[in-house]
Amino acid sequence: MKPVDPEMRALLLGSIPALRAFAFSLTRDLDRSDDLVQETLVRAWTKADSFTPGTNLYAWLFTILRNLFYSEQRKRRREVEDADGVMAGRLTALPDQEARVELSAFQDALSTLPANQREALVLVGAQNFTYEEAAEICGVAVGTIKSRVSRARGRLVELLGMTGPDDIGSDGATLAAMGNP
C-alpha cells in the first residue's frame, strides 16, 4: 500500500471546488461532474509520482479531468440522449429572484457555445487560469485560447442582449466569464 503524503492530500482536497466547477461546466450535470472529479482525484492520487513538484498542480489536475471528460464523451456517443428535453424539463425549477434569472439565462447562453469556446472561457474567466496555462491544459496554442475566449465573450454578449459592460448582471459567474471582477 502506498504511504499517505499529507501535503499532496491537502493540495488535492483544496482543489475540489475548482475541479467541481470546471467539471460542471463541461457536463452540466451535478452527478456526472462529481463522478468526474472523483475519478480525477483517484487518478491523480495513483499517479502522484508522475507529478513534477514545483509545477502547476491545478493545470495538471484540470488536464486529467479534461482528458477523462473527453474519453467519457467518446464512450457516451452510443447512448440515447434526452433529445426532446422532456426529462430535463421535469427537473427544472422556476427562478425566484433576479440573480437566479440572470444566472439561468447566462447558463443557457453558455451551454449554446461550442465546447472548445466554453471550455476556454471557463478556464480563463471562471477558474482564473492564464491564457498560457489554459493553452497547456487544452493542448493548443496561446493564440487559439485567446481567440476562443474572445469569440465566446462576444457571443455571450450577443446572446444575452447586452450592449456593454453595464448590462452585465450581478452574479459572479456572469461577471467572471465576461472578464469583470
pLDDT digits (tens, 9 = 90+) for 6-19: 888 888 899 999 99
- Is 153 in contact with 177 (CB distance < 8 Å)? yes
pLDDT band at 109 (very low <50, low <70, confident <90, very high): confident
- In the numeric block, which cell numbers belong to residue 20? 467541481
- Is 26 in contact with 68 (CB distance < 8 Å)? no
The SS3 of residue 51 is coil
Ranges of CATH 1.10.1740.10 domains, the chain: 1-84
- In the numeric block, which cell numbers belong to residue 60? 495538471
CA separation for the pair 25, 119 (Å, rounded) = 7
pLDDT at residue number 87: 62
pTM metric for this prediction: 0.56
- In the numeric block, which cell numbers belong to residue 123? 478556464
Could you tell me the fold of the domain covering 95-180?
A: Arc Repressor Mutant, subunit A (1.10.10)
pLDDT band at 1 (very low <50, low <70, confident <90, very high): very low
- In the numeric block, which cell numbers belong to residue 72? 467519457
Ranges of CATH 1.10.10.10 domains, the chain: 95-180
pLDDT at residue number 181: 44
Q: Percent of the chain, pLDDT > 70?
A: 77
CA separation for the pair 107, 31 (Å, rounded) = 17
- In the numeric block, which cell numbers belong to residue 19? 475541479
The more confidently predicted of residues 168 and 116 is 116
Mean pLDDT value across the chain: 82
The SS3 of residue 128 is coil
Q: Which CATH class is domain 1-84?
A: mainly alpha
- In the numeric block, which cell numbers belong to residue 174? 456572469
Angle of CA points 32, 116, 48, to nearest 5°:
55
The more confidently predicted of residues 92 and 43 is 43
